[in-house]
Amino acid sequence: MVACETKPDGQSYLVPDNVILESDSQLNDFTILQIPGEINKQLEQKLIVAIVNFVFDGKIFGEPYIAVLYKDLSYDQLSFELAEKGAFLLPKPYYNMNLNFKLLLKDSAGSVYCSLKNFDGKGYCSQTLHGFTHYYDPATLKPFLNIYLDKILNEKENNKKVIQIIVDWDLSLKEDFEKNSVKEEIKDDDSLQNKFIESKQTPVSLISMLDKFVKPEPIQFWTCPKCKKPSGSMQIKFDRLPDILVFYIKRFDHSGENTKNNTEIVHSPEELDMSSYFINKLSKNSDENKYDLSCVIFHNGSEFSS
C-alpha cells in the first residue's frame, strides 16, 4: 500500500509511513493505492512501479492509478502502456486516442526530473533531464534507463520504490474528456438495510464461521506408515496477512441441478483480530493483526448470475 497526497494543482507527494495524523479527517487528503508486494527476483530489476496522474493545464483529472512497467520501454511503448492502463479515464478506446500529451517524471518529493514530449509528424521527441534538452527517435528512446531513475528508486525516503508520472494532456482534448467522463453513481438502498434490521433470524457471527473454517479435520484415506492406523489431522493457519482482508461468503448451496439461495444474515464485527489464526506464535497478539471494518457488500438476488 502507498499513500499519495495530491494537491488541486496536480502536484502529488508520497506520504511517509511514519506520518502522524491529527484527526481522521486528514485521511480525506490522501489517496491509498495498492502496489504489488514482493516481486520475483528475476523481474525485480526489470520492472518499475509508477503512480500515474492525468492532468490538464496543471489541474488533476480523475483518480490516480498504479502502473507496473518494464524499464526498457521506448517512449512510444511507454505512451501506449500508460493509455492502456488508464483506459478507464479515457473518452474513447485507448487504441483510437490521439496520444497528444507531455510526460513528467517525478521523484518522491514531487519534483520533476524529466520531461518528455513527442512532436507528432516530425518523427522525434524531446527529453529534458534537469534542464538539458535533447532530441531522440521516440521508437528508440528509453526514458527509464538513466542514472536519475536509479537514484530516485534508492532514495531513503522512497521505501516503496515507486516513481510518479504526470500525463499532461493537450488542452484541445479537455472537452472530450469532460463530456465522455461519466462517473458511476452509487445509490443507497435503505430497503435492503431495513430488511436485515427487521429480520427475525439470529445473525451468524463471522468469527464463528471463521473458526469452523479453520477447525482441524481428520485426514481421510491416510494411515500412519508406522502403526498402520488411520490418524492425523490437518488445519488451516496463516503465516502472513494482507493489508486489506476480504471475506467472500458462500451464498448458494448446489445439489445436483438445483441451487439454493442461503439467506442467513452474517454479523461482521467492527474490529477483527486475526492473531489466534497465526501459525507463528511470535506473530500473535500484535496490533498488526487487527482489522477495522471498512464495508459490507450484500448480494441482493435469487440467482447465481444476479
Q: pLDDT (tens digit, 9 = 90+) per residue, 289-302?
A: 888 888 877 666 55
- Average pLDDT of span 125-138: 83
pLDDT tens per residue, range 226-259: 887 776 788 888 888 888 888 887 766 666 666 6
Predicted pLDDT of residue 304:
47
Residue 266 has pLDDT above 50, yes or no: yes
* Three-class secondary structure of residue 36 per DSSP: coil
Predicted pLDDT of residue 217:
83
Predicted pLDDT of residue 168:
92
Predicted pLDDT of residue 306:
44
Residue 23 has pLDDT above 50, yes or no: yes
Predicted pLDDT of residue 70:
92
Q: How confident is the model at residue 72 (pLDDT cuts 50, 70, 90)?
A: very high
**Highest mean pLDDT range out of 32-36, 143-147, 294-298?**
143-147
Cα angle value 10/124/128 (rounded, 5°): 45
Predicted pLDDT of residue 119:
78
Predicted pLDDT of residue 85:
92
Predicted pLDDT of residue 81:
94
Name which of 147, 58, 72 is nearest 104 in CA terms: 58
Q: Which residues contact 39 (CB under 8 A, 6 or more apart)?
A: 47
- Pairwise CA distance, residues 172 & 28, whole Å: 31
Rounded to the nearest integer, the mean pLDDT of the chain is: 77
What proportion of the chain, given as a percentage, has pLDDT over 90?
Answer: 8
Residue 87 has pLDDT above 80, yes or no: yes
Predicted pLDDT of residue 82:
94
**Highest mean pLDDT range out of 10-14, 161-165, 302-306?**
161-165
Domain map of the chain by residue range?
2-180, 190-292
136/181: higher pLDDT:
136
Q: Which residues contact 13 (CB under 8 A, 6 or more apart)?
A: 4, 5, 6, 7, 108, 109, 110
Cα angle value 25/26/31 (rounded, 5°): 115
296/192: higher pLDDT:
296
- Pairwise CA distance, residues 38 & 21, whole Å: 28
Cα four-point dihedral sign 106, 110, 115, 120: positive
Predicted pLDDT of residue 1:
64
What proportion of the chain, given as a percentage, has pLDDT over 70?
Answer: 70
- Average pLDDT of span 16-40: 67
Predicted pLDDT of residue 262:
64
